[in-house]
Amino acid sequence: MIKILMIEDDIELAEIISEYLAQFDMKVTNYDDPFIGGSVASSEDYELLILDLTLPGMDGLEICKDIRKSSDIPIIISSARSDIKDKIEAFDLGADDYLPKPYDPQELLIRIKTILKRYNKINEQGEVIVDKKAFKINTTKHQILFYNKPLQLTLGEYGLLEYLIKKNGDIVSRNEIMYNVEYISADSSKKSVDVIIGRLRNKIESDVKNPKYILSVRGLGYRLENVSQES
């Protein structure tokens, strides 16, 4: 059974979602208190979080930010807030998807399955079809291995790193990344690309101040030094 955490103060909506997803072997645990829900997200073994933004006493974006400091749990934002700034900030903070309310539970189910496949939470057979020294991409599982160990990545991180790997050492600009990487909105700021690069370095580099793999090229952008294990 897939364990899903939900932080939603609309109890009726939470019950509808819980009952619907239960048909597909998904158990939803909801907290209408954002403080309790946020603390549980990092301490218990949930496979995905559905997070409302408009919550009593604490904004959902703050919860997203706090969770990302200690957890790579996939996050779907579920919100009636339609301001594009909220959506951009949510992705910048590490959310994996943004589902505007109201929505059909079937759409939520599809998005959950898609994200969990990318996180390799739903078992799926696949072959590594891109193998380039330090990094290997399994496109079927949407997984990147670093020296044969799977990286726990958000969708934005996965898309950006995959793009850098496939560019095979070429320099890529921030604009190029924003327009070519799935799950990084073309409406995002260049700073959002830098934020994701920073998160990737924290997961890959032994010394983030002197990176060995993801290199900055002054005035141009970034490139990946896909060095071999022996170097």
Check residue 136 and give its pLDDT: 84
Q: What is the pTM of this model?
A: 0.58
Check residue 131 and give its pLDDT: 43
Q: Where does residue 123 rank: exposed (0-12), middle (13-18), buried (19+ CB within 10 A)?
A: exposed
> Within 10 A of 118 (CB to CB), how many other CB atoms are there?
20
Check residue 188 and give its pLDDT: 65
**Tens-place pLDDT, residues 171-187:** 999 999 988 887 776 66
Positions in the chain whose pLDDT score sits under 50: 121-132, 229-231
Check residue 122 and give its pLDDT: 43
Output b/e per residue, 62-80; b: 16+ Cβ within 10 A. ebbbbbbeebbbbbbbbbe
Which domains are present in the chain?
2-120 (3.40.50.2300), 135-224 (1.10.10.10)
Check residue 130 and give its pLDDT: 43
The string of DSSP letters for the chain reads -EEEEEE-S-HHHHHHHHHHHHTTTEEEEEES-HHHHHHHHHHS--SEEEE-SS-TTS-HHHHHHHHHTT----EEEEES---HHHHHHHHHTT-SEEEESS--HHHHHHHHHHHHHHTT-S-------EEETTEEEETTTTEEEETTEE----HHHHHHHHHHHHTTT--B-HHHHHHHSTTS-TTS-HHHHHHHHHHHHHHH-S-TTS-SSEEEETTTEEEE----TT-
Check residue 13 and give its pLDDT: 95
